[in-house]
Amino acid sequence: MSAYKKVAKVFVASRVQNLANILRTSTSDIVVEECSLSQNPENPTGISKELEKHVSEIEFLFADPDIIGQVLAHPRNKVKWAQSTFAGLDALFKAIDKLHQLPDVLISRQTGGFGQKMGEYVIGQIIARERKFDIMRDLQKQKSFDGSQLYSYRCLNSLSIGILGFGTIGQEVVRQCKAMNMNVWAAVRDERFDSGENLNHSVDNFVPMSRLNEMLTEVDYLVNVLPSTPKTRGLLSDKLHFCEKKKTIFINIGRGDIVDDNSLITAIQNGWLGGAILDVFNTEPLPSTSELWNLPNVTISPHVSGITFAVETIETFLLNLKLYQDGKRLINQVDLSHGY
């Protein structure tokens, strides 16, 4: 990368509210061009008419991952650097997987702030389940003061939790769980485990992925924070029976394809899992016909455990803008060959 790269104009295309306007007020060093996201049914890439009109002009793109994928899949694109507004990039990879070769482009993603939000989601859901907040709400509706169902519960310091995905987000989830005095496990890639890079005072037990089964038998809660990659898809599909010992509760805030729907449903119905808290799914929105909606001990939320706040993603973009112009490695720079 050269010592300096001039960035004069940035195209913004995002569902994040007021992203372009807030960016304009945050810097006067670049021209901000906002593009509409209205779909163009005549174009198989799904790219909007306005984006297609400008596609050969776009060198610097600040957009949602599916939009970045649509632009990169267009034969006339000239993108040099694209900053994603989200952490997950599976929509981007689905678009470029259809190409004959990986595009020669820099991609960076947003992770700042997600760890705090997703850690709060995990802790909040565990407390709600253990302290039976749903029963409290039902009793209130019934105007009943009978607390007999609420006297027995587990405190968090008596529980073990396992984390799949030990990146920026996963490490913050771990920190928050340890702050609640939980016993924390984490599984990492074998090469990372062997290198010793995984030392972290918030983790009580590390295991390599080749010994993942050991962790599954020992944790009360299992949290997936992994991205969707060829190595993670279906990772848990044939392993959930190992959770039967402790009737583990599965929390998925990473990507739905860590386990196929049939395997997850079977694990819940057979009692291998004590339940599930699901924020992500193989198909989104989750179809109304899915059995997951009605399974006992399953909590469903519509992919909201960690949403993008405009101010946070703009802060990351501006930091990366300076790094890009100085010819330095970007924050959360993506390795397209690895899928994250």
Give the pLDDT confidence score for residue 198 in this predicted structure: 61
Give the pLDDT confidence score for residue 42 in this predicted structure: 56
Give the pLDDT confidence score for residue 2 in this predicted structure: 46
Active-site choice (24, 192, 241, 303): 303
Give the pLDDT confidence score for residue 195 in this predicted structure: 86
pLDDT tens across the length of the chain (340 residues):
445 578 999 999 999 999 999 999 999 999 999 998 865 555 555 688 889 999 999 999 999 999 999 999 999 999 999 999 999 898 899 888 888 888 999 999 998 899 999 999 999 999 999 999 999 999 999 999 999 999 999 999 999 999 999 999 999 999 999 999 999 999 999 998 888 776 677 899 999 999 999 999 999 999 999 999 989 999 999 999 999 999 999 999 999 999 999 999 999 999 999 999 999 999 999 999 999 999 999 999 999 999 999 999 999 999 999 999 999 999 999 998 887 7
Give Cβ neighbours of residue 292 (< 8 Å, ≥ 6 apart).
261, 264, 265, 276, 278, 281, 286, 298, 300
User: What is the number of residues in the chain?
Assistant: 340
Contact 251, 125 (CB under 8 A): yes
Closest CA to 251 of 271, 280, 227: 280
CA distances from 296 to 10, 138, 242, 292, 299 (A): 48, 16, 20, 9, 9
Give Cβ neighbours of residue 158 (< 8 Å, ≥ 6 apart).
none
- Amino acid identity for residue 175 in this structure: R
Q: Which helix (H) or strand (E) holds 335?
A: none
Contact 46, 13 (CB under 8 A): no
Q: How far is CA 153 from the centre of its chain?
A: 30
Whether the predicted model's global pTM rises above the 0.85 cut: yes
Active-site choice (284, 291, 329, 338): 284
Cα 164 from Cα 216, distance rounded (Å): 11
Give Cβ neighbours of residue 259 (< 8 Å, ≥ 6 apart).
234, 235, 236, 237, 240, 252
Active-site choice (74, 129, 233, 255): 255
Q: φ and ψ at 162, to 5 degrees?
A: -110, 135
Tokens representing residue 124 in the block: 């909040």
Cα 29 from Cα 34, distance rounded (Å): 16
Give the pLDDT confidence score for residue 123 in this predicted structure: 98
Give the pLDDT confidence score for residue 39 in this predicted structure: 58
Please indicate whether residue 255 is annotated as part of the active site: yes
Q: φ and ψ at 68, to 5 degrees?
A: -60, -45
Please indicate whether residue 303 is annotated as part of the active site: yes
